[in-house]
Structure 1
Amino acid sequence: MKIAAFEVRKDEIKDFKKAAEKYNVELIFTGKPLSVETFDFAEGCGAVTSLGHSRIDRVILNLMRDAGIRFYCTRTVGYNHINLEYARELGIRICNVSYPPNGVAEYTVMLMLMSLRKYKQAMFRGNVNDYSLEGLEGRELRNMTVGVVGTGRIGRTVIEILQGFGCRILAYDAYPNGSVADMAKYVELDTLYAESDVITLHTPLLESTYHMINRESIAKMKDGVVLINCARGSLMDVSDVIDGIEKQKFGALGLDVIEHEDGIYHVNHTVDIISNRDMAYIRQFPHVTMTQHMAFYTEEAVRSMVYGAVKNLRDLNKTGSSAFELF
């Protein structure tokens, strides 16, 4: 079996080579995204893998069908960049990958602590030799009520980590996880908004969760609430969040994702003008900490995603099934 891997980062190459050897497949790779212009790279391959910056739309899927490519695996958990319905019509089988939840969960708690201890302000002061303390007084997590929205693998791991801080933990999920009930109290979403000092989002992006953080939900939150998002940017209506910042509703924000980040994050824009106006504006607030969608980015997660993609494609070809196939 021959696999074409697109959007391959330098840190993935060694794992791709090892995975190809382990699963006995032929592999070619490029750093370019999968597009109409780059599709010829996959000529002669039976399967393709890429990251989420490649749009797997009707045009690309038609090219796959015409080239005899039957399998595609995204090296991401999310799959909003794939037209699944059309892939099914064409008989192209699609899968995603998983990775240990610990990296994102640990990063989430790190952003909580950075936000509560005003790390961004302290760091910028230190860069200009300002070592004063005024305005940097923080708060302790142990005295907080933390609301966790979404208690899947990552949300549950966040709750496990928070156990060590002694804080009160509230949880909300449309499908409660029985293993979480001993560590957190499940409540209605409005109750979580009203009682939480810190709110962290770990829910998938669905039609029902799109812009769940909006003017109405923000109004239900405590004044001075800390909001953390390491999940999906489109869970938040950024304009409404900015309005909340300007009205001093938020004590701090820790954002690893933001809506319309595609083409910006994971790319060097040192000499460019950022086209996302909301992003360019929100990042300048002193109590808003933003990172470039990197909560997942650990050695363990990268290895898991690369090996998972190669194994999934091998399994679809060899056995006709994969545990990670998207239906």
Structure 2
Amino acid sequence: MANIRAIVVSKKVNALTVGRPGPQGPGLKEYANLAAFPATGLAGLIYLAQDTGLIYRWTGSGYSAVGGAAYAAATQPEAEAGTEAGLRSWSPLRVFQAAAAKVASMFGTTAGTICQGNDARLSDARPPTAHTHGGISNDGKVGSTAGLPLKTGTAGAVEAGAFGTAAGTFCEGNDSRVAGALPATGGTINNYREMVVTVGNFGSAYTIDLSLGSEFHGTLDQTTCALTMPAAPAAGLSASFVMVFTQGSGGGKGITASGALGPDLTSALPSLNTTAGKVTELVVRYNRTKSAWVFYAGAKDA
């Protein structure tokens, strides 16, 4: 639009007369167009042509456009085409129409053009072009073998790992090296603690479950509590646990343990303190030679 030479009137004055009479004349008057102006004007009065927005003064013999010659108003086709046949005056509407036409002409799909908001290429259904994500393929695969663990390789790129027993490999969940029957090797265990199982009342029968812990505390609330002993530990392993009995109301309660032995390796179990509220602690170990659990007398209340 560099060739457009225009006088732009940004706002029309709607009042028929503006100002007040005085030495300079009555002010400003407006008419539908230049042809509607009075045949003889008044000196000092400003005349406005509504169709073009141009203002004039009376020279004594005719009307002269203020600021230079009077220019015809630009038409909408001229504004949209960006051309003019001679000098034109441009209203704000014509300037907007020219700018809108220029922007519309720039829509397209090539370099230097503008992409419209409803361009089909902006649809979510666009397939991605070929690209890489480290070791991950376009369809989300890492390598071609199923069931492998993932690790990071060069520069942190994701790649398939391997299961095995060497450094840099992964140990599978069913690896025999992490089975329950682990052989002990030399070493030191610091801050060793055993899990205590709070039984509450032992009742008339109680099954000792070493998966819950290795020290069982409870109250003997029945005349006799029949203890069911744990399964024997695996070959080559030893096991032990502690039983802590508190005499219930009235005292005089006892225990039995089928297949278990006392400290003299007979069926006679250690005696308990039978006074109500008193505590007896027994240590139980598995004797591999006798293939039986053996109760040993521990601490007990006097």
Fold conserved between structures, TM > 0.5: no
Bigger radius of gyration: 2
Higher helix share: 1
TM bin (shorter chain) = under 0.3
Alignment TM-score, normalising by the size of structure 2 = 0.20
Structure with the bigger RCO (C-alpha within 8 Å, sep 6+) is: 1
